[in-house]
Amino acid sequence: MSPALPRSVRLVEVGPRDGLQNEARPVSLDAKRQLLEQLAQAGLRYLEAGSFVHPERVPQMADSDTLLRDLRRHPGVTYAALTPNQRGFERALAAGVDEVAVFAAASETFSQKNINCSIDDSLARFEPLMHSAREANLPVRGYISCVLGCPYTGRVAPEQVLALTHQLLDLGCREVSLGDTIGVGTPGDTARLLDVLLAEIPPERLAVHMHDTYGQALANIYVALTHGISVVDSAVAGLGGCPFAPGAAGNVATEDVVYMLNGLGIEHGVDLEALVHAGDTICRTLGRDNASRVARALLSRADS
């Protein structure tokens, strides 16, 4: 018997944030606006558009205030941004975001390198932010980095991820996105992690966020689907990486996820052709290769 799969999946498009944060060359506001516009036109309903972190630590995101404030918004699309602390939240609120995301790590060393504090201190920094978000009626998403491995210390125990997931949900996060930041996890690792988490946490509260460094991301997502998880983060053209996770490749490409969901008969609301166009446009603008296998296949067919 084939495993039970969700009828529909909600795609969280992180390309404009996770994708662009790692680009070596400056990306213009116009290019960011065009990307967001084309992604919305392709049918994506959740766009992580920017990040309110320290501008010197992630220069590519320094213009998130302007980008979000002046953005032409599509009705029904959630425009979200990362906020590491109260200062970031205030900037996000002023820019008019629809949702914010806090981000913690399941590895102490990564937490220090990424957000300059311990895991416990990061949770303490989130508390006033969560309070302000409740007052402003803004939902908060939670991320956990390094759920399948840390670039500095290696293996991460599923129990550590479980404890942190509980803490983020208890703080008031709507859902927790499980980040394989360096894309090392295999389907076996993903299944073992999810078996531990789902013994205590309903699948509706979890999302997966797979980077594709070792080419395992789609297989890991398939495992997550068979475990009842129906929220998948991805980045158009497979853009991305984390500036504080050396060697990490981009997120799984949205085009590749959409193609797989089509084959599985799972609804997602995205027009693949329009999505491929969005990915092709940003890759040309950035002068970089398209990391989506599906986009490359479809674009080479169109060329011939």
Q: Minimum Å distance from CB 100 to ligand HMG?
A: 11
**Member of 38, 145, 230, 292 binding ligand HMG (CB under 6 A):** 145
Residue 116 interacts, among Mg ion, ligand HMG, none and using kind-specific CB cut-offs from 5 to 8 Å, with ligand HMG
Stretch that binds ligand HMG, among 36-44, 80-88, 152-160, 296-304 (CB under 6 A): 80-88
Query: Which lies closer to ligand HMG via its Cβ, residue 82 or residue 257?
Result: 82
Under rule CB under 6 A, residue 220 binds ligand HMG: no
**Member of 114, 165, 213, 230 binding ligand HMG (CB under 6 A):** 114
Alpha helices (H) along the chain: 29-41, 64-69, 86-95, 108-115, 119-136, 158-171, 187-198, 217-226, 254-264, 272-286, 293-303
Under rule CB under 6 A, residue 129 binds ligand HMG: no
Ramachandran angles phi, psi of 256, nearest 5°: -70, -40
CA quadruple 206, 282, 213, 84: dihedral positive or negative?
negative
* Binding region for Mg ion (CB under 5 A): 18
**Member of 6, 15, 50, 84 binding ligand HMG (CB under 6 A):** 84
Q: Minimum Å distance from CB 2 to Mg ion?
A: 30
Under rule CB under 6 A, residue 85 binds ligand HMG: yes
Q: Among 30, 48, 74, which Cα is nearest to 239's?
A: 48
Longest CA–CA separation in the chain, Å = 56
Ramachandran angles phi, psi of 87, nearest 5°: -60, -45
Helix, strand or coil, per DSSP, at residue 138: coil
Identify the burial level of 289 via C-beta atoms within 10 angstroms of its C-beta, where 0-12 means exposed, 13-18 middle and 19 or more buried.
exposed
Under rule CB under 6 A, residue 234 binds ligand HMG: no
Residue 62 interacts, among ligand HMG, Mg ion, none and using kind-specific CB cut-offs from 5 to 8 Å, with none
Stretch that binds ligand HMG, among 53-61, 134-142, 156-164, 293-301 (CB under 6 A): 53-61
Binding mask of the shown chain, residues 4 to 43, with x at each position contacting ligand HMG by CB under 6 A: --------------x--x----------------------
Cβ atoms 290, 279 nearer than 8 A: yes
Q: Minimum Å distance from CB 53 to ligand HMG?
A: 3
Tally of residues, the chain: 304
Q: Among 104, 102, 9, 112, which Cα is nearest to 48's?
A: 102
- Residue of 146, 150, 242, 283 marked catalytic: 242
Vertex 300: Cα angle to 299 and 304 (nearest 5): 120
Residue 88 interacts, among ligand HMG, Mg ion, none and using kind-specific CB cut-offs from 5 to 8 Å, with ligand HMG
Catalytic residue flag (residue 146): no
Stretch that binds ligand HMG, among 47-55, 185-193, 197-205, 213-221 (CB under 6 A): 47-55
Q: Which residues contact ligand HMG (rule: CB under 6 A)?
A: 18, 21, 51-54, 57-58, 82, 84-85, 87-88, 91, 103, 114-117, 143, 145, 179, 181, 209, 211, 242, 244
What residues are labeled active site?
242
